[in-house]
Amino acid sequence: MNSSRLLAIDSATEYCSVAYTDGQQLITRGQEAPRKHADLILPYVQDVLAEAKITLADLDAIVVGRGPGSFTGVRIAAGIAQGLAFSQDIPLIGVSSLEAMAQQALRLHGAKAVVAAIDARMGEVYFGTCLAEHGLMVMQGKEIVCAPDTVKALAAEYEWFTVGTGFVTYPEVLAARFGTEARVTPTDIRFPHAEDMLPIATQRLINGKAVAAEDFDVHYVRNEVTWQKLPGRS
């Protein structure tokens, strides 16, 4: 069976990236460019397609960073991915920002266990742990948003690689929660990259997890924000 042709887009964090694979070649673009994501993504897409010598019509699906991360950032990638997928009548596959960073730790460091935390502002982190299964990172339980001093201790049986800006903002607080038994190896990985969404998405496409463009859901994870209802409304 021929490999799928997938185009991945992510702008959930300060880093924005686009990646393409057909199972053989891998073409990527990306840079850390807060507030410039909307400017950069479509030119990147055009660039990547040109280098691959294909058009959008050749794609089997669009892959998109579904969050968590910056609300606006996630929506920029989601809007562009939805428009591209709808225009070609091809499905969308969402991949978590936390899983993508874990996959990056596997790619760069051979990590088997990853603890991921993104600074979510307001004194909280987006948090999750991933374990490698057959070369793909799999989220253990649900990704959550919480105060860094409330995360659970890590299982002592694994060597845990840390990824994400949560470890830049709260290194000591998080380390203290992981427990004295935990074996923790820091990495320089701060942001997800579209490249690492491709292997996860390839498997999801095979497993029938792709959705129609209009059925795609952003995973904000933080759903209770600072807005307040009028008195007496529930």
Binding site for another protein (CB under 8 A): 38-43, 45-46, 56, 71-72, 75-76, 78-84, 86-89, 213-214, 218, 220, 225, 227-230, 233
> Cα–Cα distance between 31 and 15 in angstroms, integer?
6
> Cα–Cα distance between 166 and 117 in angstroms, integer?
5
CB of 38 to another protein, least distance (A): 4
> Cα–Cα distance between 8 and 214 in angstroms, integer?
17
Between 64 and 114, name the residue whose CB sits nearer to another protein.
64
CB of 234 to another protein, least distance (A): 8
State the pairing for strand pair 15-21/136-146: unpaired
Between 23 and 83, name the residue whose CB sits nearer to another protein.
83
CB of 55 to another protein, least distance (A): 9
CB of 169 to another protein, least distance (A): 22
Per-residue exposure over 84-110, b if at least 16 CB sit within 10 Å of its own CB, e if not: bbeebebbbbbbbbbbbbbbbbbbebe
DSSP 172: H
Between 72 and 185, name the residue whose CB sits nearer to another protein.
72
Between 56 and 131, name the residue whose CB sits nearer to another protein.
56
Select from 176, 166, 92, 85 the least CA-distant residue to 128: 166
Between 180 and 226, name the residue whose CB sits nearer to another protein.
226
CB of 14 to another protein, least distance (A): 17
